[in-house]
């Protein structure tokens, strides 16, 4: 059975509807009101082989922060819900993503211990219409709500566009591996503690 979750979250700052299929084909229908962020989420979908439908309406007249952070929260909740009891998943994944002069790395463990570390300096304050300081807020929110341990690093690179894009791509590929199912372990919880 496909692992699908639908989440609706409404606050005084954002109104978000999201549907995620972890066993998809990389199709996306994404509207957040922040075009570069939409593009990054489309890359995430394609490189993760996820299907994602997202309609996020936020108080962009105030700032982009609420929208970006709340999308991270909802996406993390959707991953957590779609995984169900987590039996048979690989649980952890990592990936190195080159993009021209840039190299980025991601490692994730969906082990129930939320933590996020991001290393790397993005020099531009904006890429397109996107505030680059919000990259960290998005991934922090995702890690907390997915209850995942997430480490991201920009090893080197000149272009801020390439740095952000490489982060989203390697994150998607690492997550794709972590949520993948191993047929040999389909009834096994990937933890010696017996709890994830």
CA separation for the pair 139, 142 (Å, rounded): 5
Q: Give the pLDDT confidence score for residue 193 in this predicted structure.
A: 80
Residue labelled with tokens 């566009």: 161
The whole-number pLDDT of residue 77 equals: 98
Mean pLDDT, contiguous 10-residue spans, the chain (196 residues): 95 98 98 98 98 98 97 98 95 98 98 96 96 98 98 98 98 98 86 77
Residue 123 per-residue DSSP state: -
What is the C-alpha to C-alpha distance for residues 122 and 177, in angstroms, rounded to an integer? 26
- Helix 134-146 and helix 160-179, axial crossing angle in degrees, nearest 10: 10
Q: Which residue, 133, 136, 134, 126, is CA-closest to 161?
A: 126
Helix (H) or strand (E) holding 39: helix 35-48
For 179, the token pair is: 């949520």
What was the pLDDT predicted at 59?
A: 97
How far, in Å, CA of 95 to CA of 36, rounded? 22
Global pTM exceeds 0.75: yes
């Amino acid at each position: 059975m496909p692992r699908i979750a639908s989440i609706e979250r409404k606050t005084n700052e954002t109104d978000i509807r999201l549907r995620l299929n972890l066993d998809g084909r990389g199709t996306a229908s994404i509207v957040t009101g922040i075009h570069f962020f939409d593009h990054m989420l489309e890359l995430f979908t394609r490189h993760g082989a996820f299907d994602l439908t997202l309609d996020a309406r936020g108080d962009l007249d105030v700032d982009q922060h609420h929208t970006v952070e709340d999308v991270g929260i909802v996406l993390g909740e959707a991953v957590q819900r779609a995984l169900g009891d987590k039996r048979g998943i690989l649980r952890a994944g990592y990936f190195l993503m080159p993009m021209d002069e840039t190299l980025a790395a991601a490692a994730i463990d969906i082990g129930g211990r939320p933590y996020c570390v991001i290393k790397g300096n993005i020099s531009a304050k904006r890429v397109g219409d996107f505030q680059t300081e919000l990259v960290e807020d998005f991934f922090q929110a995702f890690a907390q709500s997915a209850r995942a341990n997430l480490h991201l690093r920009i090893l080197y690179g000149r272009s801020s566009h390439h740095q952000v894009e490489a982060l989203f791509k390697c994150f998607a590929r690492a997550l794709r591996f972590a949520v993948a199912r191993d047929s040999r372990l389909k009834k096994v919880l990937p933890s010696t503690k017996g709890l994830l």
